[in-house]
């Protein structure tokens, strides 16, 4: 198959996306596919869509080419009107399917998916509606609450709100402050003092126009992916220091991740059931990964969010869950393509 692995973009997770995309592209080529790695924002000016998939291809060279645009990113964002770079649409139209390796806003938020739907371009992952809901932590929380999915209580605030303390929001410390649409734990603050709350809100608003303030759940961190309606083995996540933030997610050895999680069968089943319920609540198609906290005091399971394009880096969690049931990285990539193609066969 001719496959575009679409990565990079303009979000705070651009670098992570490049790593995911590079690994996916190599895996697909090992399986015999004509895959190419493409930056959704900067594109490939020299590409001829009719021949771009032919012949030998150096994925590492393509990744370095994409990274070369990093210093230009901010200036290009200010001067550009179109999100799609040169030849991106033409190459994606030429492909049999586009493997979305995008993370964060302008990629995981449904806008690329909506554009591809209108253009008749086939892609991996869920549709634009569920992507948009899952990307916005405020909307996700509302949908979870309406659907009976256990989730921490919280409120949404917007830029311009003068309140800067938990007490002003009617909440008790500690709390968590999160940008509404950020990924990879970028901009998240655990607030144990009112000064932390002020700083956390300022940090969140430096990244986005809205933020979620939610109750702090003292307990263990877990994750569970759902692929084609099946919940996979649960992963227990234990950072060696702090919590599961950006550094601990993407620094090899910084976090201990155990899969299957060393927990009771009952708790495993409960997390998997909540993962399926959360996936159903947002209308997830194909695959996604749900993140959880299990409260230490009573073992109650809380779903935090849905990742509709979960990471596919060497330290990512979905590949670990797949490996636990005998699916290696290359064949996981193939499986995600196969699952995604089902929606186009109906």
Q: What is the pLDDT of residue 185?
A: 63
> Rounded distance, CA 290 to CA 221, Å?
11
Q: What is the pLDDT of residue 144?
A: 96
Question: How many CB atoms are closer than 10 A to CB 307?
Answer: 21
CATH of domain 2-123: 3.40.50.20
> Rounded distance, CA 99 to CA 96, Å?
10
Cβ distance 128 to 32 under 8 Å?
no
Q: Where are the domains of the chain?
A: 2-123, 153-215, 219-345
Q: What is the pLDDT of residue 250?
A: 46
Return the structure tokens found at 197: 């709350």
- The reply to whether 2-123 and 219-345 are identical in fold is no
The helix (run of H) or strand (run of E) holding residue 291 is strand 287-295
Q: Given this structure, which CATH class describes domain 219-345?
A: alpha beta
**Cα 263–chain centre separation:** 25
Strand order in the sheet with 175-179: 154-158, 210-215, 175-179, 189-191
Give the residue ranges of the chain where pLDDT is below 50.
184, 244-246, 248, 250
Q: What does the pLDDT look like over 278-337, one tens digit per residue?
A: 999 999 999 999 999 999 999 999 999 999 999 998 789 999 999 999 999 999 999 999
Question: How many CB atoms are closer than 10 A to CB 173?
Answer: 15
Q: Where are the alpha helices (DSSP H) in the chain?
A: 14-30, 59-67, 73-79, 88-94, 111-119, 128-135, 137-147, 194-207, 246-250, 265-282, 317-324, 329-345
- pTM across the whole model: 0.90
Find, among 316, 295, 292, the residue nearest to 305 by Cα: 292
Find, among 16, 69, 70, the residue nearest to 45 by Cα: 69
CA-CA distances (angstroms) from residue 17 to 24, 135, 136, 181, 216?
Answer: 10, 16, 19, 16, 29
> Rounded distance, CA 334 to CA 336, Å?
5
The domain covering 153-215 belongs, at the CATH homologous superfamily level, to ATP-grasp fold, A domain (3.30.1490.20)
> Rounded distance, CA 91 to CA 114, Å?
17
Q: What torsion do the CA atoms of 200, 254, 66, 98 make, to the nearest 10 degrees?
A: -90
Place of tokens 């490049």: 18
């Amino acid at each position: 198959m001719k496959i575009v692995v679409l990565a990079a973009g303009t979000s705070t997770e651009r670098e992570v996306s490049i790593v995911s995309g590079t690994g996916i592209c190599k895996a697909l080529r090992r399986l015999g596919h004509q895959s190419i790695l493409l930056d959704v924002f900067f594109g490939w000016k020299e590409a001829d869509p009719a021949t771009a998939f032919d012949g030998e291809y150096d994925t590492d060279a393509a990744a370095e080419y994409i990274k070369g645009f990093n210093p230009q990113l901010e200036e290009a964002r200010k001067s550009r009107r179109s999100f799609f770079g040169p030849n991106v649409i033409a190459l994606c139209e030429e492909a049999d399917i586009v493997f979305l390796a995008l993370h964060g806003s302008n990629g995981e938020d449904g806008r690329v998916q909506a554009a591809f739907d209108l253009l008749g371009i086939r892609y991996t992952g869920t549709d634009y509606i569920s992507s948009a809901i899952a990307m916005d932590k405020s909307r996700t929380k509302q949908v979870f609450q309406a659907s009976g999915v256990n989730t921490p209580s919280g409120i949404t605030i917007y830029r311009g709100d003068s309140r800067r303390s938990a007490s002003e929001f009617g909440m008790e410390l500690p709390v968590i402050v999160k940008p509404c649409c950020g990924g990879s734990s970028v901009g998240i603050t655990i607030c144990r003092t009112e000064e932390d709350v002020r700083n956390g809100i300022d940090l969140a608003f430096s990244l986005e126009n809205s933020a979620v303030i939610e109750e702090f759940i003292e307990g263990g961190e877990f994750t569970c992916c759902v692929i084609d309606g099946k919940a996979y083995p649960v992963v227990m996540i234990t950072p060696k220091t702090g919590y599961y933030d950006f550094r601990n997610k993407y620094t090899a050895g910084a976090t201990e991740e155990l899969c299957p999680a060393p927990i009771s069968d009952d708790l495993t089943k409960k997390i998997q059931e909540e993962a399926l319920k959360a996936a159903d609540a947002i209308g997830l198609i194909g695959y996604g990964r749900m993140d959880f906290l299990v409260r230490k005091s009573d073992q109650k399971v809380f779903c935090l969010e849905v990742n509709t394009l979960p990471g596919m880096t060497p330290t990512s969690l979905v590949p670990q869950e797949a490996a636990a049931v005998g699916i290696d990285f290359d064949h996981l990539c193939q499986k995600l393509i196969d699952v995604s193609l089902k929606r186009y066969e109906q």
